[in-house]
């Protein structure tokens, strides 16, 4: 079945440094969604990518969907303490199930 | 607009006891998901409803877990009897049209502790 693998599992950065998390699948994905979960909170939708090679930006966040639609990345420029949390990619399969990766936990040192 | 509402927020029970979680999705959302999230892990899908129909319950441990979504709105998830390994956060999410991969909105979750 559909599965997405995320790396790294943890990332510790100094405030102001950049951060990237990667999401990979062995199968072609129909789309990829990204969520952020703050400590003690619930996942919150960030964005959805659908097209091959798609790139979307939200302020300091840049999301990419690979040409083969088997991988995706989230890049944060100049991290801030408010970026702390766990970032999940989720695959919305053709049957509608939303399957999450294990997430990348980001900590930011001020 | 009200978000996804779950209750209770916290529940502590002894093993072998039953427990139930309740979810009220966003009005008009056809798709409802139940997830289980263990500490440090991603949400694990247990069951997905399209309106009142459970379209995928392949990951639901059916020997002890059951779920229902009467009238295609509210949903309950039950565990009977609970085991120590069931301790986790149970998240409910809803989506306008999950089959079309619309975004999912999550509730605050119910943190279950089985002692």
pLDDT tens digits, residue range B24-36? 999 999 999 999 9
The strand pairing partners of A65, in sequence order, are A72
pLDDT tens digits, residue range B10-21? 999 999 999 999
- Average pLDDT over chain A, rounded to whole? 94
As a whole number of angstroms, the distance between CA A22 and CA B111 comes to: 29
With CA atoms as reference, report the closest residue to B110 among B22, B9, B3.
B9
Residue B71 pLDDT exceeds 70: yes
Alpha-carbon dihedral sign for residues A77, B104, B75, B42: negative
By three-state DSSP, how is residue A81 classified?
helix
Hey, of B104, B108, B109, which one would you mutate to test binding to chain A, going by the most A CBs within 10 A of its CB? Answer: B104
**Six-digit token string for A93:** 């399969």
**Sheet with strand B19-24: strands edge to edge:** B5-7, B19-24, B75-79, B65-68
Mean pLDDT, to the nearest integer, of A1-30? 93
pLDDT (0 to 100) of residue A96: 75
Q: Identify whether the C-beta of residue B90 lies closer than 8 Å to the C-beta of residue B67.
A: no
pLDDT (0 to 100) of residue B42: 96
Mean pLDDT, to the nearest integer, of A31-51? 96
Q: Smallest Cβ distance to B104: which of A41, A98, A101?
A: A98
């Amino acid at each position: 079945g559909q599965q997405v693998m995320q790396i790294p599992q943890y990332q510790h950065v100094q405030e102001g440094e950049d951060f990237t998390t990667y999401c990979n699948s062995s199968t072609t994905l129909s789309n990829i969604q990204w969520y952020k979960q703050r400590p003690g909170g619930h996942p919150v939708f960030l964005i959805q990518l659908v097209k091959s090679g798609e790139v979307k930006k939200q302020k300091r966040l840049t999301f990419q969907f690979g040409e083969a639609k088997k991988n995706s990345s989230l890049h944060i420029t100049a991290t801030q303490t408010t970026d702390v949390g766990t970032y999940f990619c989720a695959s919305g399969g053709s049957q509608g199930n939303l399957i999450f990766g294990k997430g990348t936990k980001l900590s930011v040192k001020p | 607009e009200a978000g996804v509402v779950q209750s209770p927020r916290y529940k502590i029970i002894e093993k072998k006891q039953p427990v139930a979680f309740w979810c009220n999705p966003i009005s008009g959302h056809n798709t409802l998901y139940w997830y289980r999230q263990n500490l440090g892990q991603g949400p694990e899908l247990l069951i997905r409803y399209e309106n009142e129909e459970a379209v995928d319950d392949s990951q639901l441990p059916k020997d002890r877990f059951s779920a229902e979504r009467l009238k295609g709105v509210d949903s309950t998830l039950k565990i009977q009897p609970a085991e120590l390994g069931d301790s986790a956060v149970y998240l409910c999410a809803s989506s306008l049209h999950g089959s079309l991969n619309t975004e999912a909105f999550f509730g605050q979750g119910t943190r279950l502790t089985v002692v």
